[in-house]
Structure 1
Amino acid sequence: MAKVNSCFKGVFAFFNILFGIAGAVLLALGILVHAFYHETEEFNNMIMGVVFLYILGGITVFISFLGAYGAYKEKKWALIVFCAGMTLGCCGLLRIAILLMVSRPEVKSQVEEQLRSAIPLDEANQDLKRVAEIFQTQLKCCGIFNGYQDWGSHIPNSCLCPTQYQETDKCERVESSRLEAMKAKNFLEQLISDSDNLVYKESCFPIILKHMDNYFDTTLGIIFGFATMALIGIIMSLMLICQIKGHRMAAPVIFSVNPSPPNYSKLYSTQS
């Protein structure tokens, strides 16, 4: 059997453990998303992402196991398959990263165009109104591009500044005649009586863009991280394959030493 540096095998095994943990995390994330959202309407939009997590996580775990097996047993075929899988994975990840970088401005432009078509929001369909109010509640903003003016004469509850923000620059004053009736009537009456009809000052679109940029940056970081790990795996597996191929055990040369003198035969000459 070929002799491979045991220290290098240990480093390669540790690398495969890390790679396998990363794949297990992707599988766990896919399972969690599936478990929490499979009965919701949003799951139909998530199904492709969940399937992608399952496939990527499963392949990652399998490839890492194959690499660890090939290194431990010093099997060239396993390391060759591992190297080929890493090469394909690295190329695929880099292609996805390039597509994301190229499509990034286009996606942002399409989102902006779709949101602008919904102005004024009080005349938009119910689905767009619901999405806008979700944005406003979660991002603490009002309107999409021009603040509360995007809502026309009907400003929803989600635009109102809560008490803790009323003394900050996050809020601006709006006439009470433009406020829509709130479910929390006591809170609204207090605002009207105090003439402090305040809504969130910042529009939602800049915050949405910031979150989109964070999403793209995070996704690209994960992709480049996996691509870097794949490249390291390719280099290490090639080094192991070369060690297994180059360190062949040579056939031993046996020297035999005979301490006794050679046998001599006495020559007789025959005289005629």
Structure 2
Amino acid sequence: MAKVNSCFKGLFVFFNILFGIAGGVLLTLGILAHSFYHDHEEFSSMFVGVVVLYLMGGITMAISFLGAYGAFKEKKWPLIVFAASMALGFCGLLRAGTLVIILRPEVKSETEEHFRAILPLDEAAPEFKQVADMLQTQLKCCGLFNGYQDWRSSIPDSCRCSRWDLESDKCERVEAAMRFDEELDSDSQQLVYKQPCFPIIEKYMDRYFNMATGIIFGFAFLALMGLIMSVVLIWYIKRRDPPAPMIFSFNQDPPKYTQLYNPS
């Protein structure tokens, strides 16, 4: 009769505690996003993501509790539910990670086409100009693909190099035919950032795609480990509790009976 290894059981319980903490983190992120953005106009576009965080966090915590309870009490049914959940989670995460890898070039290509469609920037809609200004200010770049030439003869102030970058190789001088939205009071203010913005955006996209892929496959690996450990624990418990043997009776004595009284 096999005995459940106490070290292995403790490791499995510890694994489920970490798994539950990860679920708590997801749930906390959902709560924070809900409380921070619920009054903003863009919350409607984020609602699905917040609900996904709620669901993933709650389900993860519930599954981790089942696994820890089944291991601690050495009961098979919670471990079977846990193993089935881990198998489904592993398959789902593997599919999601594969889709991220497959769709990555398509998303990048569509994003580039979207940005190229709004060129030249000086003729773009006001909302696109605001986005471009924000990107240029935060990323220290100018234009999208061709530097300040994407703005043609009207360069916004957000393209100007800050005084901390004037002596670096990040800046270039504009041509005489170009002009800024405001009058320049010094020759140095004709320097603009020479790095276009889209290559920087593309680097951030690659970074986020790599991060998402790593997180998805990392959770898939954890799900696989949880599946393997739960199956091993179920096997230990099954070996420890063999089925009760069937008892056969070989008594050759005839069954006892009572003869009914028949007066005839």
The TM tier, using the shorter chain, reads 0.7 to 0.9
Deviation sequence 1:127-146 (CA, Å, 0-9, x none): 21122122112111110000
Q: Take 1:250 and 1:180, find their aligned partners in 2: how far apart are those partners?
A: 85
Q: In the alignment, residue 180 of structure 2 is paired with which amino acid? A: L
Offset at residue 106 of structure 1 (A): 0.5
Q: Which moved more, 1:236-245 or 1:134-143?
A: 134-143
How has the CA–CA distance of structure 1 residues 3 and 165 changed in structure 2, closer, same or farther, with 3 Å as cutoff? same
Q: Take 1:148 and 1:140, find their aligned partners in 2: how far apart are those partners?
A: 12
Matching of residue 111 in structure 1 with residue 111 in structure 2: yes
Q: Take 1:243 and 1:195, find their aligned partners in 2: how far apart are those partners?
A: 76
Partner of 1:178: 179
Matching of residue 209 in structure 1 with residue 202 in structure 2: yes
Matching of residue 224 in structure 1 with residue 214 in structure 2: no
Deviation sequence 1:50-102 (CA, Å, 0-9, x none): 22211111111111011000111111010000000111111111111111111
How has the CA–CA distance of structure 1 residues 195 and 77 changed in structure 2, closer, same or farther, with 3 Å as cutoff? closer
Q: Take 2:140 and 2:23, find their aligned partners in 1: how far apart are those partners?
A: 36
Gaps of 5+ in 1: 182-187, 252-272
Q: Take 1:85 and 1:171, find their aligned partners in 2: how far apart are those partners?
A: 55
Q: In the alignment, residue 247 of structure 1 is paired with which amino acid? A: R
Q: Which moved more, 1:169-178 or 1:14-23?
A: 169-178
Offset at residue 45 of structure 1 (A): 2.6
Q: Matches of residues 250-269 of structure 1 in structure 2 within 5 Å?
A: none
Maintained 8 Å contact 2:161/2:189: no
Deviation sequence 1:145-165 (CA, Å, 0-9, x none): 001111122211211111000
Maintained 8 Å contact 1:3/1:248: no
Q: Take 1:31 and 1:250, find their aligned partners in 2: how far apart are those partners?
A: 48
Per the normalisation by structure 1, the TM-score is 0.84
Q: Take 1:86 and 1:7, find their aligned partners in 2: how far apart are those partners?
A: 21
Q: Take 2:140 and 2:56, find their aligned partners in 1: how far apart are those partners?
A: 35
Instruction: Work out which of the residue numbers 235, 238, 241 in structure 1 matches 2:231.
Output: 238
Percent identity, aligned pairs only, is 64
Q: Take 2:33 and 2:157, find their aligned partners in 1: how far apart are those partners?
A: 30
CA-atom RMSD in angstroms: 1.9
Q: Take 2:126 and 2:242, find their aligned partners in 1: how far apart are those partners?
A: 76
**Secondary structure of residue in 2 paired with 1:199:** strand
Count of residue pairs brought into register by the alignment: 243
Maintained 8 Å contact 1:171/1:198: yes
Partner of 1:256: none
Q: Which moved more, 1:25-34 or 1:8-17?
A: 25-34
Partner of 1:163: 163
Offset at residue 38 of structure 1 (A): 2.0
Q: Take 2:188 and 2:175, find their aligned partners in 1: how far apart are those partners?
A: 9
- Decide which structure has the larger Cα Rg and report it: 1
Q: Matches of residues 1-272 of structure 1 in structure 2 within 5 Å?
A: 3-175=3-175, 177-181=178-182, 189=184, 192-248=185-241
Partner of 2:254: none
Q: In the alignment, residue 178 of structure 1 is paired with which amino acid? A: R
Gaps of 5+ in 2: 245-264
How has the CA–CA distance of structure 1 residues 246 and 163 changed in structure 2, closer, same or farther, with 3 Å as cutoff? same
